[in-house]
Structure 1
Amino acid sequence: MAEDEERSGPDGTVPGGARAYRTEELAEAAGIPVRTLRFYRERKLLPPPRREGRIAWYDEHHLARLRTITALLERGHTLGGIAELTAAFENGRDLGQLGALLGLSTTTGGLDWTEETPVRLTPEALADYFEGEVTPENLAASLELGYLATDGDEIVHVSRRLLDVSSALVREGVPLAAVLEAGRRVREHADAMARLFGELVATHLSADGADPAAAVDRLRPLAKSVVEAELSMAMDRLLRGDQAEPAA
């Protein structure tokens, strides 16, 4: 046992610096009981661990899978449905079927009301954009965020700009899971800014009888310019190490 620990590194790493977990360590990191982890493994919800003698070693992919299982359970999915999703992905089932298993919309309805340019992709092309990062976890997150939809046999990414930025970040070494989580957080702030601008228009421009939706759409470039300028200045402050609020 001591020999196995030494081969895996004193801090639980394996050659190359990747984090490795024993069963108890993985369960603790995922916030679940060990018996639950073993149950998931028996149900084949987890890929087999790497074994050294009698010791089972898990990695970050196992941890990500456990966190995804927990998140899907919290959203009302069953273990049977999650198992079917995992099997479907690993057996190469098409994206539309995977979305249906998740209970998520996989139609392109609503894409006509956007300034973004959708991108149609084959599954192979999507894999080329994010080589090694197209996992069940990332696929589920992308579907839930609405970044991906399907139209027949084609995959549709809702935004050329988001697709290019996401793939560029992955090429720079940022894990796709982290990119998607950042996207989720950015969306929360973007929604808040859109509501703020909408309230501004409704309060000050609706008195003359103008259609609020039409006014928002007409003045959209102004809102985008404000956000872009403020973000640019925020990045300047970040680079200077100056996080103080600007004076009024």
Structure 2
Amino acid sequence: MDELAAAAGITVRTLRFYRERGLIPPPRREGRIAWYDEQHLARLRTIAALLERGHTLNGIADLTTAFESGRNVREVLALGAPSEEEPVRLTPEELADHFAGEVTPENLAAALDLGYLVTDGEEIIHISRRLLDVSAALVREGVPLAEVLKAGARVREHADALAELFTELLRTHAAEDDLWRLRPLAKSVVEAELSMALDRRLHPGGPAEGPGDGPGSLGSPTS
């Protein structure tokens, strides 16, 4: 314990306090000897960095609980399924920097529940660089992270429904071996329809409206 405290630049008393609060995992014991390792030191450095960024010890304890209750990365990424998404490894400090102080225990728990974040020892992995970049961009534009995550949950529901529709369609009319090859066609349909739907809502009455979309048409209510 003395060696760990010295390496972390804190007092033994502070280290004991952190251990009692559950901020660091218990040591490995051999008889009466308690062994600490690099993971303990990394956790202490993370705590110090979060304190410097204004987090309270209660908040850090909640974050620690959320991390430790999150799914391990091997449960998510070791399934062997192909994916176009690129995972991103982050420290807790880097994650906090991406979202400008909005990495609260509630938001972290929501991201873990969605599967956006998984844990790998002392590291965090965001399962999609594209989703990470877009989420961070929305937060920088003033959209609260909690609302971004709520929208993500709703998008997930619709995306799952669309994926089910296309996989059933392809399984009915194509060989199983062709499903992955035909996957881009399904993506193109969804991207085109989403693009046109955004046009209709951002520019109502504009040229993007198709049959049945204009005022008084069969596709919209009339007074």
Q: TM-score interval w.r.t. the shorter chain?
A: 0.5 to 0.7
Q: Is 1:132 paired with 2:95? A: no
Q: How far has the Cα of 1:98 moved from its partner? A: 2.4
Q: How far has the Cα of 1:115 moved from its partner? A: 1.2
Name the amino acid aligned to 2:192: A
Name the amino acid aligned to 2:115: G
Give secondary structure in 1 for the equivalent of 2:75: coil
Larger Rg belongs to = 2
From 75, 83, 95, give the equivalent of 1:109. Answer: 75
Q: How many angstroms apart in 2 are the aligned matches of 1:197 and 1:167?
A: 30
**8 A Cα contact 1:108 1:156, kept in partner:** no
**8 A Cα contact 2:63 2:104, kept in partner:** no
From 152, 163, 167, give the equivalent of 1:194. Answer: 163
Q: How far has the Cα of 1:89 moved from its partner? A: 4.3
RMSD, aligned CA: 2.5
Give secondary structure in 1 for the equivalent of 2:118: strand
Q: After TM superposition, list the pairs within 5 Å mapping 1:80-159 onto structure 2.
A: 89-91=59-61, 94=64, 97-101=65-69, 104-111=70-77, 112-113=80-81, 114-159=83-128
Give secondary structure in 1 for the equivalent of 2:133: helix
The residue aligned with 1:51 is: none
Q: Report the TM-score when normalising by structure 1.
A: 0.56
* 1:114-169 residue CA offsets vs partner (Å, 9 max, x unmatched): 21000000111000000110001100000000000011211000000000000000
Name the amino acid aligned to 1:240: H
The residue aligned with 1:239 is: 202
Report percent identity of matched pairs: 62
The residue aligned with 1:50 is: none
The residue aligned with 1:167 is: 136
Count residues with an aligned counterpart: 153
Q: Which structure ranks higher in relative contact order (CA pairs < 8 Å, sequence separation ≥ 6)?
A: 2
Q: 1:199 to 1:87 in 2, by over 3 A?
A: farther
The residue aligned with 2:188 is: 225
**Unpaired runs of at least 5, structure 2:** 1-55, 213-218
Moved over 6 A (4+): none
**8 A Cα contact 1:89 1:98, kept in partner:** no
Q: How many angstroms apart in 1 are the aligned matches of 2:160 and 2:211?
A: 23
**Unpaired runs of at least 5, structure 1:** 1-85
The residue aligned with 1:184 is: 153
Q: Report the TM-score when normalising by structure 2.
A: 0.62
* 1:159-212 residue CA offsets vs partner (Å, 9 max, x unmatched): 00000000000000000000000000001000000000001111111xxxx3x3
Name the amino acid aligned to 2:122: D
Give secondary structure in 2 for the equivalent of 1:169: helix
